[in-house]
A and B are shown apart, each in its own frame.
Chain A
């Protein structure tokens, strides 16, 4: 039996999944630009602003559903979590923009990532986390959050190791600073991916957990 609320929830879900894809694309664009030494900040800015608009649309829709239907139980948890996830996806976009702008400001779009391999691995891991969180959302799979937690730990470790290495690096100041900042933004993106996992776990199990 289809309820009035169901159509609204469907719309909400569709918008959110689209957001996920756009967010993923934004991060990929920004990191690729960084690695290839190209200036992509205009494209990334456009995508980031799209994400912001979509966040507002999700929030508005969620509020409308609450006002109209006074949802409870799993419906309420879905709406609560979706608002959080929308914010997290928006953050993906925001940090991606930060990456591009930092790259542009410090390195004038040159290829200068220090310890190239490590950075590549870091980026790969973060992209994996983003993909995992979107898949978890699509399947409403609270169990995938466990793998997210694992990767997040790895990212954290890598980030610390990376900073260590940077501190012993040759004094090519702008590249060093740029790389450090980009790594930080990537670490933040990873954090938000875990928040998405936590929110999905809450929908499925009704419990608030912390994967940090």
Chain B
């Protein structure tokens, strides 16, 4: 069942045509990986899903992007609600310079989603879902910056989970982390996909092969191939895909 349905999406940054007529449907409750060489438009693609491209000056887009059947590029879309529903985790962990508790509570507060009493519960649930609770339960008031890189990234995941999203976008979430931390986050991706729709941008082929159910390959702004991960990695249909994943070009 399609959670996100992208149709003929085009994105320009000033004169630069970054995404060219991209169409694909993302399945619910699965992990979809978007891979491709640098500059292929994969980050632009996922940022289109929660309309974070709007923040960049000089950006414009055409085409439609449906989430649960509603076009998020409609003029009457509530962008703030959209971004609550579609959470995002960035490449470099970016917790706020506040306490661990305040980080997770931030989103909940701005959307006025809970009373102060329920807040502690929500923070605990989110941190547990992000596999961080046991490590921070006794120091919720410590600064977020006292955590290691991998822990900070899990904190960012908890922060996104706290506002009860349905889709989670991850933009190369492990590229700044060491292998052990990476393994933890990859495990999280799989467990989160049971309740959420997870879309991961990665330039690490093996990671795409490890964690995803479906893989999309992008090249120079176009969607070249999209299918279930087994097929794409065992027997890709497109020659460019084959060349890319076997390392025969950058």
Mark A residues whose CB is within 8 Å of B: 1, 3, 5, 70-77, 206-207
Docked-complex contact A72 and B209, CB < 8 angstroms: yes
Tell me whether chain B's interface is mostly helix, strand or loop, or mixed.
helix
B226 to chain A, nearest CB (A): 16
Q: Quick check: is B118 within 8 A (CB to CB) of the other chain? A: no
Q: Within B232-250, which residues are at the interface with A (CB < 8 Å)?
A: 233-236, 241-242, 245-249
Docked-complex contact B247 and A77, CB < 8 angstroms: no
Docked-complex contact B234 and A76, CB < 8 angstroms: yes
A206: chain B residues at CB < 8 Å are: 234-235
B206: chain A residues at CB < 8 Å are: 70
Closest to A70 in B: B206
Of B209, B233, B235, B248, chain A has the most CB atoms within 10 Å of the CB of: B235
14 A-B residue pairings within 8 Å (CB atoms)? A1-B248, A5-B246, A70-B206, A71-B246, A72-B205, A73-B234, A73-B235, A73-B242, A73-B246, A76-B233, A77-B234, A77-B235, A206-B234, A206-B235
Which of these, B205, B209, B234, B247, contacts A3 with CB under 8 Å? Answer: B247
Query: Contacts A72-B233, A77-B235 hold; do A1 and B249 have CB atoms under 8 A apart?
Result: yes
Closest to B249 in A: A1
Of A73, A76, A206, chain B has the most CB atoms within 10 Å of the CB of: A73
Mark B residues whose CB is within 8 Å of A: 205-206, 209, 233-236, 241-242, 245-249
Closest to A205 in B: B235
A76: chain B residues at CB < 8 Å are: 233-234
Q: Once bound together, how far apart are the Cα atoms of A112 and B245, in whole Å?
A: 57
Q: Once bound together, how far apart are the Cα atoms of A70 and B247, in whole Å?
A: 11
Docked-complex contact A73 and B233, CB < 8 angstroms: yes
Q: Once bound together, how far apart are the Cα atoms of A1 and B243, in whole Å?
A: 11
Q: Once bound together, how far apart are the Cα atoms of A76 and B236, in whole Å?
A: 12
Q: Once bound together, how far apart are the Cα atoms of A207 and B234, in whole Å?
A: 10
Q: Once bound together, how far apart are the Cα atoms of A73 and B235, in whole Å?
A: 5
Q: Once bound together, how far apart are the Cα atoms of A73 and B241, in whole Å?
A: 9
Q: Once bound together, how far apart are the Cα atoms of A206 and B247, in whole Å?
A: 18
B233: chain A residues at CB < 8 Å are: 72-73, 76
B248: chain A residues at CB < 8 Å are: 1, 3
B53 to chain A, nearest CB (A): 31
